[in-house]
């Protein structure tokens, strides 16, 4: 008997570069494993810097300068992105695998049109 293969899911609104965003759209931020680890690390640094800026009443110029240095230091100390494809290269927010604060490489693959499929231009919500 001939095997019936699924239609590709790229016309689905949850489809992003071969991955399925359905669960993330349904429960945004719920699965913390999907978050970009590079961005998470930088958020910690940012929180620290904001506290420092408030405590020492730092100017915007000084904060910007410190922020650029923190990013550079964070990249050196963390070794950058540890995903196989990008080992050592941390390019967020320019990373092509980033989608908001989510790493697409962590999401399940779209295996073709499924019951949750919604066409791209369908404006109704996810129920």
Piece of 24-32, 48-56, 71-79, 81-89 that binds ligand SF4 (CB under 6 A): 81-89
- The answer to whether residues 67 and 59 touch, using CB atoms and an 8 Å cutoff, is no
Q: Is 36 in the site for ligand SF4 (CB under 6 A)?
A: yes
Instruction: State the maximum Cα–Cα separation within the chain, in Å, rounded to a whole number.
Output: 73
Q: Smallest distance from the beta carbon of 27 to ligand SF4, in angstroms? A: 14
Query: What DSSP character marks residue 35?
Result: B
- Residues with Cβ within 8 Å of 10's Cβ and at least 6 positions away in sequence, in order, are 110
**41 touches ligand SF4 by CB under 6 A:** no
Q: Using CA of residue 95, residue 96, residue 98, residue 100, what is the dihedral sign?
A: positive
Query: Which three-class secondary structure state does DSSP give residue 28?
Result: coil
Q: Does 70 bind ligand SF4 (CB under 6 A)?
A: no
Quick check: 81 binds ligand SF4 (CB under 6 A)? yes
Q: Residues in the site for ligand SF4, rule: CB under 6 A?
A: 9, 12, 14-15, 20, 22, 36-38, 81, 83, 86, 90-92, 95, 97-98, 103, 105, 110, 113-114, 116-117
């Amino acid at each position: 008997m001939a095997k019936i293969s699924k239609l590709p899911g790229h016309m689905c609104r949850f489809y992003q570069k071969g991955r399925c965003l359905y669960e993330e759209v349904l429960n945004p931020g719920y699965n913390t494993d999907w978050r970009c680890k590079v961005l998470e690390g930088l958020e910690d640094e940012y929180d620290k810097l904001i506290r420092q800026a408030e405590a020492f009443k730092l100017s915007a110029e000084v904060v910007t300068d410190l922020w650029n240095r923190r990013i550079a230091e964070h990249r050196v100390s963390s070794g950058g992105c540890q995903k196989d494809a990008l080992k050592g290269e941390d390019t967020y927010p320019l990373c092509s695998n980033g989608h908001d604060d989510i790493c697409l490489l962590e999401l399940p693959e779209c295996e073709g049109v499924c019951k949750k499929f919604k066409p791209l231009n369908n404006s109704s919500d996810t129920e």
